[in-house]
Amino acid sequence: MNVEQKLAELGWTLPEAPKPIAAYVPAVRSGNLLFVSAQLPTREGKLLATGKVPSAVPIPLAQQAAALCAVNALAVAFAELGDWQRLVRVVRIGVFVQSDDGFGDQAKVANGASELLQQVMGDAGRHARATIGVNALPLNTAVEAEFLFEVR
C-alpha cells in the first residue's frame, strides 16, 4: 500500500501529523486497534472551513474539509506506526458536520473523507461510518472526523 504516492496522484501531500489542540494525544493503540483523535481540517495550522454547512460553507468545500481530516488522520497514523505496512485497514470513522437546522446532506459531506480513504487505500480503506450534524464544533470548524484503524 503506497499511501503517499496515491495521495500525490490525488493532489495531496502527506503533512506533518497535526498536534492536538488540547490535553489529549494524537492516537492510542490498544491491541490491533489504533484510535486516532478527532481531526480538524487544518493545513499548516489553518482551518480550511469554518461555520455551518451549507449557509457558511458550501457542500463541495465541506467535502474537501472532510477529505483533509482523513489526510491528517493518515499523517497521525504514519507518525505512530512509522511504516505503512503496519496499517491494515480503516475500521470505522465518525464524521461531525456543523449543520444548519434542517440540513440533511451530512452523508455527502462525509463522503469527502470516505472516498479519499478508498481511493488511497483501496479495499483496505472501506469502513463502517457514523455521520451526524451538530450545531457547534471546536474552533468553529465546519467538519471534524475521528478514525479507527486496524494495525499490525
Look up residue 5 and give its three cell numbers.
504516492
Q: Which of residues 68, 131, 142, 143 is near a second copy by CB under 8 A?
A: 131
The CA distance from 114 to 56, in Å, is 23
For residue 105, which phi and psi values (nearest 5 degrees)? Answer: -105, 35
Shortest spacing between CB 106 and a second copy, in angstroms:
5
55 lines the binding site for a second copy (CB under 8 A): no
If the CB atoms of residues 4 and 146 are measured against a second copy, the closer one turns out to be 146
Number of other residues whose CB lies within 10 A of the CB of residue 131: 19
Burial of 99 (0-12, 13-18, 19+ CB in 10 A): buried
Q: Which of residues 36, 62, 65, 70 is near a second copy by CB under 8 A?
A: 36
Letters for 77-116 (x = contact with a second copy by CB under 8 A, - = none) are ------------xxxxxx-xx-xxxxxxxxxx-xx--xx-
**Angle of helix 59-81 relative to helix 106-121, nearest 10 degrees?**
40
Q: Which of residues 5, 13, 32, 55 is near a second copy by CB under 8 A?
A: 32
Contacting range for a second copy; rule: CB under 8 A; set: 1-9, 10-18, 141-149: 141-149
Q: Which of residues 13, 19, 21, 122 is near a second copy by CB under 8 A?
A: 21
Distances from the Cα of 135 to the Cαs of 17, 38, 64, 149, in angstroms? 27, 17, 20, 27
Contact set with a second copy (CB under 8 A): 20-28, 30-33, 35-38, 89-94, 96-97, 99-108, 110-111, 114-115, 118, 126-141, 144, 146, 148, 150
